[in-house]
Amino acid sequence: MKIKVEDIILDSDPRIREKSQDVTLPLSEENKELLQAMFNYVKDSQDDAIAEAEHLQPAVGIAAIQLGVPKKLIAVLVPEKDGVHQVALANPKIISESVQNAYLDGGEGCLSVKDEHPGHVFRHARIKVRGYDLLTDKQTVISASGYFAICLQHEIDHLSGILFYDHINPDDPWMEDEEAIVI
């Protein structure tokens, strides 16, 4: 299975707002194949040569609902200074979160959102996520901070039908939080 840009549904499609369902573990072959294809899309989209040859839109994460599949599956690959953070999670759940917020200075984007939605998207600066990771083939608890934490929260939001721009204050899109970490 190979995911192409055309397979990704947009926010104009009502399915993007559907709530995703848990998947049974151990993963079925169908769900393994889907989750691996999601991870491969994200990985390949970050390789300039592959992305150009296959016309892939750059990504750091994807949720199954973005393919019209309402299953709790996400793939995230975030290259950072301290190394690459990569997961392909089934049934991810945030089990703890910091009080302190963080946000991307320039705002967020999404494979399923073509229109500009400028503004700060406040998220928890640090989180712990529990789920089954296909890449390590085990249940895991991930402690994430910074950009990786923001990406995980963005993808986990998709599982509840929430898009990043739902978090932007409509009255003051660029409002500041002096306590927040700016990334």
Catalytic annotation, residues? 155
Look up residue 62 and give its two tokens. Answer: 């994807």
d(CA 34, CA 64) in angstroms, rounded, equals 8
CA distances from 33 to 8, 9, 10, 37, 53 (A): 17, 19, 22, 6, 23
